[in-house]
């Protein structure tokens, strides 16, 4: 068990920790004014164009041209990406790379992909890895992760050896996805009676049998049966939508965890997202029905999901992640040609047409969702193909070369909000990909409690690197019941810490600590204003806080998480300790 007895809200300068870190200036200033824009430039065949100069590029923010502060051409390299981890008893999440790198991230989605298509996703990934083994390995580091019903699972950290990832991939098993398995719902209804184009049941006319129901009675009975079928189908859609909503939340939290995990790595990251569905809009038919609109006054889905998606796009944007959606299902037979439905669904032309339209519209929406997340982040989708390995390879090729541009916004933005970015490159028959916006100012919560982000970070097996932090145990003393009080200090890199000078040098932090997975974490909030003389000292070094934990005897992996509430950046670090 862990109990935090005290977090001292005293601002200290922990110089021994600072000396253990790199003194090179971070690309993130304390006021987060420097904007980084990775730009991919290719010719008409998709081949990277190299050797371009700064004068070939022009950046506009909200329609106003900006002066480029730095310009760098970044090529693929097999440079190792890893954290400093531990030095002289000081544990940190700081990444040891100071220069921009190319990083590929392959994400296999088991939540939004049906089991039958998970097989193709895994097979495609293995084929992709095998192809690169024959080429002698990747030209840049490649990370592999999976989205599961438990959240983000890191299969392997970054490596340029595809054989290593292939071995790790052998242990990845498919799992059912309840929200995606039954496209028609959870409850199996009776065969839907034939209907007219307006949805009313078709009742054959003709002479009435002696003693049998009249034509009017048969029409009434058919309408009652149709209404019952409609109610069951709506119940199906509500049940399925609840499962899809849960899967969407899991997916968004997993993508945010991945973004926070790689945000501290400088440069552009290419996330290859292998999935059947890309849930950036999953409104089901029931939510567009007259019944739902009448009951709820809206045709929208669960209102909590849109803010969560917005927060996810913001996290991807801030981490310089370009998303490359790859359809793991490939080219499959449309649902309305599925023979398994022939034994329970006798459809008229109008019903067949309605089913065809719903299925086609759903597929078109999914493609549009893939384009949305790709366009917003500077990536590109790969759909309508059965060669998943080729899609993965083309996305990785796209990450092998880019240009890193930075600028300071002029004039300085007033107020928080999204700022539009437009990149123009001189040349003929060229393709340019870059993110089209960034967020300036205090990060919005989008209705998501900051403590929910802390809870996800505390349970993640991936260190969050968006906010560089350090952790050091500084003492241990006896406590009641044979327990020990473990003293520690947490430091936040002052160059990455956001200090709101316009509002009295305000800082706002959440600090959480957990001794082992499953324990209830201790989380405290710090919201205060710094004295002017402390601001420059903290920016030059760091901000520290002292804390204590009461632990029983044993071995622990203590995880500490710090969230900068002004920017939304999160850092986490794990340190082992044996309490004797």
Same domain (yes/no): 369, 494: no
Q: Which strand (E) or helix (H) includes residue 65?
A: strand 64-66
In angstroms, the CA 177 to CA 276 distance is 11
Would you state the pLDDT for residue 240? 72
pLDDT tens sequence across 262-283: 998 888 899 999 998 898 764 4
pLDDT tens sequence across 96-151: 766 677 888 999 999 998 888 888 888 888 888 888 888 888 888 888 999 998 88
Kindly tell me if the per-residue pLDDT of 3 is higher than 60: no
Kindly tell me if the per-residue pLDDT of 372 is higher than 90: no
Domain that holds residue 436: 35-76+400-440
Range from 228-232, 243-247, 469-473, 535-539 carrying the lowest mean pLDDT: 228-232
Domain holding 473: CATH number?
Answer: 2.60.40.3880
Would you state the pLDDT for residue 474? 93
pLDDT tens sequence across 20-74: 333 333 333 334 478 999 999 999 888 899 999 999 999 999 999 999 999 999 9
Same domain (yes/no): 226, 304: yes
| Both tokens assigned to 545 | 């806080």
Would you state the pLDDT for residue 24? 36
Same domain (yes/no): 490, 461: yes
Same domain (yes/no): 384, 411: no
3-state secondary structure 528-548: EECCHHHHHHHHHCEEEEEEE
Domain holding 303: CATH number?
Answer: 3.40.50.410
Kindly tell me if the per-residue pLDDT of 174 is higher than 90: no
- Beta strand ranges found along 76-162 (DSSP E): 83-87, 90-95, 103-109, 142-148, 151-159
In-domain check, residue 89: no
Q: Mean per-residue pLDDT for 399-422?
A: 89
Range from 50-64, 365-379, 566-580 carrying the lowest mean pLDDT: 365-379
Would you state the pLDDT for residue 19? 33
In-domain check, residue 94: no
pLDDT tens sequence across 349-363: 555 566 666 666 667
Same domain (yes/no): 457, 565: yes
In-domain check, residue 331: yes
Same domain (yes/no): 164, 206: yes
The distance of Cα 342 from the centroid of its chain, to the nearest Å, equals: 39
CA torsion, points 447, 245, 310, 377, in degrees to nearest 10? 160
Kindly tell me if the per-residue pLDDT of 416 is higher than 70: yes
Q: Mean per-residue pLDDT for 76-96?
A: 73
Task: Please report, rounded to a whole number, the percentage of residues in the chain having pLDDT higher than 70.
Answer: 74
In-domain check, residue 168: yes
Task: Please report, rounded to a whole number, the percentage of residues in the chain having pLDDT higher than 90.
Answer: 28
Would you state the pLDDT for residue 350? 56
Residues β-bridged to residue 73: 403
Spatial neighbors of 67 by CB under 8 A, at least 6 apart, are 407, 408, 410
In-domain check, residue 415: yes
In-domain check, residue 359: yes
The domain boundary residue, chosen from 363, 396, 429: 396
The b/e string for 372-404 (b: 16+ C-beta within 10 A; e otherwise) is bbbebbbbbbbbeeeebbbbbbbbbbbbbbbbb
Kindly tell me if the per-residue pLDDT of 169 is higher than 90: no
Spatial neighbors of 502 by CB under 8 A, at least 6 apart, are none
Q: Confidence band (pLDDT; 50, 70, 90) for 304? A: confident
Is residue 456 within 8 A of residue 570, CB to CB? The reply is no
* Coil, strand or helix at 563: strand
Same domain (yes/no): 274, 385: yes
The more confident residue out of 245 and 65 is 65
Kindly tell me if the per-residue pLDDT of 234 is higher than 70: no
pLDDT tens sequence across 490-540: 999 998 898 988 889 999 999 999 988 777 788 889 999 999 988 988 888
Would you state the pLDDT for residue 517? 75
Same domain (yes/no): 416, 342: no
In-domain check, residue 150: yes
Would you state the pLDDT for residue 424? 96
Same domain (yes/no): 149, 270: yes
Most confident of 203-217, 323-337, 375-389: 375-389
Number of domains making up the chain: 3
Most confident of 150-164, 326-340, 355-369: 150-164
Same domain (yes/no): 11, 23: yes
Kindly tell me if the per-residue pLDDT of 86 is higher than 80: no
In-domain check, residue 97: no
Q: Confidence band (pLDDT; 50, 70, 90) for 554? A: very high
Three-point CA angle 275, 280, 282, nearest 5°: 95
Same domain (yes/no): 432, 459: no
Kindly tell me if the per-residue pLDDT of 210 is higher than 90: no
Same domain (yes/no): 154, 61: no
């Amino acid at each position: 068990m862990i109990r935090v007895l005290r977090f001292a809200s005293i601002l200290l300068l922990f110089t021994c920790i600072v000396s253990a870190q790199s003194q090179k200036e971070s690309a993130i200033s304390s006021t987060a004014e420097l904007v980084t824009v990775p730009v991919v430039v290719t010719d008409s065949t998709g081949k990277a164009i190299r050797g371009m100069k700064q004068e070939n590029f022009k950046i506009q923010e909200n329609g106003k041209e900006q002066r480029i502060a730095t310009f760098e051409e970044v090529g693929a390299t097999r440079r190792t990406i890893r954290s400093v981890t531990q030095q002289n008893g000081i544990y940190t999440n700081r990444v040891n790379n100071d220069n921009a790198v190319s990083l590929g991230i392959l994400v296999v989605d088991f939540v939004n992909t049906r089991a039958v298509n998970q097989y193709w996703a895994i097979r495609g990934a293995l084929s992709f890895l095998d192809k690169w083994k024959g080429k002698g390995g990747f030209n840049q580091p490649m990370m592999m992760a999976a989205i599961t019903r438990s959240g983000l699972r890191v299969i392997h950290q970054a490596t340029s050896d595809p054989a290593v990832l292939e071995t790790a991939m052998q242990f990845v098993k498919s799992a059912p996805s309840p929200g995606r398995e039954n496209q028609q719902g959870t409850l199996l209804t009776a065969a839907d009676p034939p209907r007219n184009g307006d949805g009313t049941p078709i009742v054959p006319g003709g002479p009435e049998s002696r003693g049998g129901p009249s034509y009017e009675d048969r029409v009434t009975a058919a309408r009652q049966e149709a209404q019952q079928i409609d109610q069951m189908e709506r119940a199906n859609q509500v049940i399925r939508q609840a499962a899809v909503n849960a899967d969407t939340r899991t997916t968004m939290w997993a993508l945010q965890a991945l973004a926070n995990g790689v945000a501290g790595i400088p440069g552009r990251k290419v996330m290859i997202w292998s999935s059947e569905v890309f849930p950036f809009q999953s409104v089901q038919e029931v939510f567009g029905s007259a019944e739902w609109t009448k009951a709820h006054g809206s045709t929208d889905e669960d209102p909590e999901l849109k803010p969560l998606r917005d927060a996810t796009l913001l996290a991807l944007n801030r981490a310089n992640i370009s998303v490359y959606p790859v359809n793991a299902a490939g080219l499959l037979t449309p649902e309305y040609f599925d023979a398994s439905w022939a034994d329970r669904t006798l459809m008229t032309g109008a019903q067949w047409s309605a089913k065809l339209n719903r299925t086609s519209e759903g597929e078109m929406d999914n493609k549009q969702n893939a384009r949305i997340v790709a366009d917003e982040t500077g990536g590109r989708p790969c759909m309508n193909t059965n060669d998943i390995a080729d899609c993965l390879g083309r996305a990785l090729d796209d990450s092998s070369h880019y240009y890193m541009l930075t600028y300071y916004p002029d004039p300085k933005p007033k107020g928080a909000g999204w700022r539009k970015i437009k990149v123009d490159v001189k040349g003929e028959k060229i393709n340019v990909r870059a993110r089209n916006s960034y967020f300036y100012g205090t990060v919005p919560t989008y209705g998501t409690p900051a403590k929910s982000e802390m809870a996800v970070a505390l349970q993640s097996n991936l260190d969050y690197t968006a906010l560089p932090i350090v952790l050091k145990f500084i003492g241990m003393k006896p406590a009641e019941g044979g327990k020990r009080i473990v003293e520690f200090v947490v430091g936040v890199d002052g160059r990455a810490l956001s200090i709101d000078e316009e509002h009295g040098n305000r800082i706002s932090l959440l600090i959480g600590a957990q001794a082992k997975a499953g324990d209830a974490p201790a989380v405290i909030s710090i919201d205060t204003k710094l004295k002017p003389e402390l601001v420059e000292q903290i920016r030059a070094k760091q901000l520290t806080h002292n804390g204590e934990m009461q632990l029983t005897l044993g071995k622990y992996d203590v995880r500490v998480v710090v969230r900068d509430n002004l920017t939304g950046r999160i850092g986490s670090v794990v340190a082992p300790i044996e309490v004797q």
